[in-house]
Structure 1
Amino acid sequence: MSTLTTVDDATAPQTRVDGSFGGKSSGRAFKDQLARVVMWTAFFVALIPLVWILAATFVKGGRMLLDIDWWTVSQSGITARREGGGAVHAIQGTLIQAGVTALISVPIGVLTAVYLVEYGRGRLAKAVSFMVDILTGIPSIVAGLFIYALWVTTFNFQRVGFAVCLALTMLMIPTVVRSTEEMLKLVPNELREASYALGVPKWKTIMKVVVPTAFSGIVTGILLGLARVMGETAPLIILGPYTPVIATNLFDGLMPTLPTMIYQNYPESLQPSVDRTWGAALTLILIIFILNLLGRFIGRFSKVRS
């Protein structure tokens, strides 16, 4: 009996005073430190181009944003050699197209996610999920060409701002679907079961319990998806070329945006055009940055997290 006790004591793992097991081996400690160094090195390497781009954009485009005319005047009558003018026409066009895109994409995306999470069973749900995955991987230029073939070539309509919204909708819907789907899955099943136990129908449980619980997370995903499509350029070049005047009608004539303003002024080597290019780029970055901050702020108050 004493021999067994001695052997067990010798082979048992030694514990410290604080209750933890013996320290790491030197090999594991080395690997841990190596992984830590590699991770931080990769982080700083990835940070270098980001900081470089942001710094260059602020330095070269910040002067334009400090001019009040940039926010109140369009480029109507401004030539490539002439300084002045602003970007109010492009800002308005970007916000209008983004708003209409969200108006179309959000109901379709949210309802599709609700179907996949709450009702989706069988082949139809698998087909819908598969199509969402396909849309997620479609390049923006392919979406623009598809709408061009359908809108211009097939129906003989003119290139207008609404056609751009249709192309951007194809890019935004899968983002909204996947983000909403993940947030709905985070809602505890106990909430659904408690509602069912009280005799509440399933559709009302979804509307009154599930969706409100995940609402903040859903809004965050919508804002992030909107920020993504606002920076797209290919569909805008194909379906809505740039115009230097204010145009707010989605169904009549061209509509200027910040990406097409950048595309229009970039080839010009004259300094006024270069300044307008950097100013438009910085304006677009600030708008997207504000949307991302708003999404993060709303996400902090998500009921799912609490």
Structure 2
Amino acid sequence: MSHAAAVADKSPSTLQGASLPRWSPWAIAAGSLVLAIVIGLAGGLDSKIQWGLIAGLLFVFGTFGITAKVEGRRQAKDRVATNLVWVAFILAVVPLVSLLWTTIQRGVKVLDVFFLTHSMGVVADSEPGGGIYHAILGSLEQVGLATAIGAPIGILTAIYLVEYGRGALAKSVTFFVDVMTGIPSIVAGLFILSLMLMFDMQPFGFAGSLALAILMMPVVVRSTEEMLKLVPNELREASLALGVPKWRTILKVVVPTSIGGIITGVMLAIARIAGETAPVLLLVFGNPFINANPFEGAQASLPLYIYQQYSQSAGSTAAYDRAWAASLTLIAFVMILNLVARGIARWKAPKTGR
């Protein structure tokens, strides 16, 4: 290699154009926020949400203008697409964080061991004291019975659709599952209520469990169906080639391979029905006392307790605080279920060898 060629290799490339420093997005974001506040104050806009939306628009357009001037329009379009994703993410996260912060701030006022281990009993809604033990017990029993009914039916339906379903029957089942996915919860409650009126039955906890199971089944079917479809056909074919019957292949190969996703889907379905209020209001009716028998008499639940306490909060600070504390408990319950689902999915995920 000649001396000139060696010098040319060591010289910096001229193909690399000018680029913005790494801290430029933060500087543009800070400038957009300051400018949005100035515009908001000058225009008489008092809402911080409006300031945030203005700042987001200024950030996107400012990034495009500065990047186009320094790096070119092609790189500017790429940065704008990335920034739009970040702005959409922030717009989605901010309300959730605000809701969680408000619930924690207002719910911790009366949330203690006494509140979790006592019922309302003879405490009036306008009086301080009382607790949510009866509501927690009712929710656990109603959701547990709904899971015991809805999860096996949903899983078996999904196995039929993926492994056996062919022809008009499978198409009909798929169609009705899609319809059930979109029905309002009040419709499921009205269906069970019509059966109760037909047999002259009084409100009881198991009736709410039946309505919740109806809402749970399509979610379980859809999630389990997708998990079963992810199992490679080679595993099924290998098992069948060894002479293993199809039912045993499903039981020993297909289901264990997808068990993590199936359990995750069931957990998410439980979290979905745990906050339902309308069917419980129609069928369970509520009870300020502890009723551990879901097959006889009215029963409480956390969503129904929140609704009843908040409806009485107009003239009572105690009922208002109890409603927020129960809301925080329900959010914690759903959050724990989601964390358990993620843990099971990670634990049961297929291990890839090196």
- Report if TM-score (shorter chain) is over 0.5: yes
Where 2:109 maps in the other structure, the secondary structure is helix
Kindly indicate whether residue 329 of structure 2 is the aligned counterpart of residue 278 of structure 1.
no
Aligned to 1:42: 88
Go from structure 1 to structure 2 and tell me whether the alpha carbon gap of 1:72 and 1:101 turns closer, same or farther (over 3 Å shift).
same
For 2:240 and 2:100, how far apart are their aligned partners in 1? 51
Where 2:108 maps in the other structure, the secondary structure is helix
Query: Contact 1:93–1:255 (CA<8 Å) still a contact in 2?
Result: yes
Higher relative contact order, structure no. (Cα contacts within 8 Å, ≥ 6 residues apart): 1
Kindly indicate whether residue 181 of structure 2 is the aligned counterpart of residue 145 of structure 1.
no
Aligned to 1:29: 75
> 1:53-72, aligned counterparts within 5 Å?
53-65=99-111, 67-72=112-117
Aligned to 2:215: 171
Go from structure 1 to structure 2 and tell me whether the alpha carbon gap of 1:237 and 1:299 turns closer, same or farther (over 3 Å shift).
same
> 1:92-171, aligned counterparts within 5 Å?
92-152=137-197, 154-171=198-215
The AA in structure 2 aligned to 1:76 is G
For 1:304 and 1:143, how far apart are their aligned partners in 2? 37
Segments of 5+ residues of structure 2 without an aligned counterpart are 1-14, 16-70
For 1:301 and 1:267, how far apart are their aligned partners in 2? 43
Decide which structure has the larger Cα Rg and report it.
2
For 2:159 and 2:196, how far apart are their aligned partners in 1? 30
Give the C-alpha shift of residue 150 in structure 1: 2.0
Aligned to 1:185: 229
Kindly indicate whether residue 261 of structure 2 is the aligned counterpart of residue 234 of structure 1.
no
> 1:255-274, aligned counterparts within 5 Å?
255-268=299-312, 269=314, 270-274=316-320
Query: Contact 2:135–2:302 (CA<8 Å) still a contact in 1?
Result: yes
Q: Which runs of 4+ in 1 moved over 6 A?
A: none
For 1:42 and 1:124, how far apart are their aligned partners in 2? 42
The AA in structure 2 aligned to 1:59 is Q
Aligned to 1:4: none
Go from structure 1 to structure 2 and tell me whether the alpha carbon gap of 1:218 and 1:305 turns closer, same or farther (over 3 Å shift).
farther
Query: Contact 2:138–2:294 (CA<8 Å) still a contact in 1?
Result: no
The AA in structure 2 aligned to 1:128 is V
Identity, in percent, stands at 53
- TM-score, normalised to structure 2, is 0.77
For 1:232 and 1:26, how far apart are their aligned partners in 2? 52
Where 2:125 maps in the other structure, the secondary structure is coil
Number of equivalences: 282
**Cα RMSD (Å):** 1.6
CA deviation string 1:31-50 (max 9, x = no partner): 22111111111111111211
For 1:257 and 1:113, how far apart are their aligned partners in 2? 30
For 2:98 and 2:115, how far apart are their aligned partners in 1? 24
For 1:37 and 1:213, how far apart are their aligned partners in 2? 39
- TM-score, normalised to structure 1, is 0.89
CA deviation string 1:166-205 (max 9, x = no partner): 1111110000001111111111111111101110000000
Kindly indicate whether residue 294 of structure 2 is the aligned counterpart of residue 250 of structure 1.
yes
Query: Contact 1:160–1:251 (CA<8 Å) still a contact in 2?
Result: yes
For 2:333 and 2:113, how far apart are their aligned partners in 1? 17
